[in-house]
Amino acid sequence: MSVRIKCFASLRQRLGIGQTELAHRRGMTIGDAWRALSEEPPPENLLCARNLEYADLQQAVEDGDEIAFFPPVTGG
């Protein structure tokens, strides 16, 4: 029963977390996963993904999911 967490770019450096695992709990949301990583409130411009698709903090997390947190993208 676990959830894989990934962080990228400035957020990865600030949290000091590239990849980690969290225990999955019933009713868990992406916001709950954030709170398990950091005592700070989620940054205003925080982006989240669930299983490689954009998601938001209210969205439910299923066992085995991959959840990612990252700042605004700057490719191209």
Partner 1 sequence: MKVEIRARAFAPWEELAEHQAHLPPGSYGACAAFVGSMRDFNEGERVTAMTLEHYAGMTERQLRQLTGDAARRHGLLDALVVHRVGALQPNEPIVLVAAWSAHRAAAFAACAEIMESLKSRATFWKKESTPGGERWVEKNTPGANIE
Binding site for partner 1 (CB under 8 A): 6, 8-10, 49, 52-54, 68, 70-76
Nearer to partner 1, 49 or 57 (CB): 49
Contacts for 34-37: CB closer than 8 Å, 24+ residues apart: 34/69, 37/5, 37/7, 37/69
Residue type, 24: H
Q: Least Å distance between CB 27 and partner 1?
A: 25
Nearer to partner 1, 25 or 66 (CB): 66
Strands 47-50 and 53-55: antiparallel
Q: Least Å distance between CB 52 and partner 1?
A: 4
